[in-house]
Amino acid sequence: MTRTQLSVNVNKYALLRNARGHNTPDLLTAVDTCLRAGAHGITVHPRRDERHIQKADVPILARHLADHWPGVELNVECEDHPEILEVVHAVRPAQCTLVPVTPGEITSDHGWRLPEEGERLAPVIAALRADGIRVSLFADVTADFTAFAQVGAHRVELYTGPYAWAWGTPEQADARADMWRAAIQAGACGLGLNAGHDLDRHNLAGLLGLPGLLEVSIGHAQICRALEVGTRQSVQELLAALGHAV
């Protein structure tokens, strides 16, 4: 059985570095530690307001991975704004995850509204595909996945916020069932499946066996745990939760 891959979101290492204005912690060292611990990929979220990683970090990180970790996938999660897409096209990561961004938001909190936003997204997706970049679209579990396939996406990333918040509550079973229905529907439309948002070493247990789940992206929970046990152990705990030997 193929295990779900873990892509570690390293934004918060950059955020801590940015708060001081120097190069501590060193982002590339953090990336190396995550990958030595067994992570399968790295995710970053460049935004116009640079509240996470900085745009200038992305090509540096991409070159570092190409030189020192060939075969490790870089996933750039971003909005469909030309300023950010220019960076994506220059870097040509393995995957670009497009997310709807609201100015001033703390974090992404909903998926794309399709087919309503399809006319806007279709040329963006076509251009990314032309550069050999796999395209994933952020999606709610209630999405019309037929529309996501029709607009040209290779994958969807299920927004797991509601699932994660329901973990350990009376709503847990229903939220898990919603994930299953969405996964089956996405697969029936020919879409690959990713998932992310507020996943951690505990609630990953509920996603084991989720049909077609290829990759999870985890950042906030990972670095929060790293403050307690270190980066290496925090990554390996997530891998273990996904069923990987560590």
Cβ 93 vs Cβ 75: under 8 Å: yes
Q: Give yes or no: 197 in active site.
A: yes
Cβ 212 vs Cβ 4: under 8 Å: no
The catalytic position among 40, 64, 197, 237 is 197
Instruction: Indicate the residue type of 8.
Output: V
DSSP per position, 77-115? EE-S-HHHHHHHHHH--SEEEE----TT-SS------TT
Closest CA to 74 of 52, 43, 46, 98: 43
Residues in the chain: 246
Q: Which residues pair with 7 in a beta bridge?
A: 41, 217
Closest CA to 8 of 191, 228, 224, 245: 224
How many Cβ atoms sit within 10 Å of the Cβ of residue 63?
A: 12
Closest CA to 1 of 246, 244, 240: 244
The catalytic position among 40, 45, 52, 64 is 45
The catalytic position among 40, 52, 64, 77 is 77
Return the sign of the alpha-carbon dihedral for residues 127, 54, 41, 237: negative
List, by residue number, the catalytic residues. Answer: 45, 77, 197
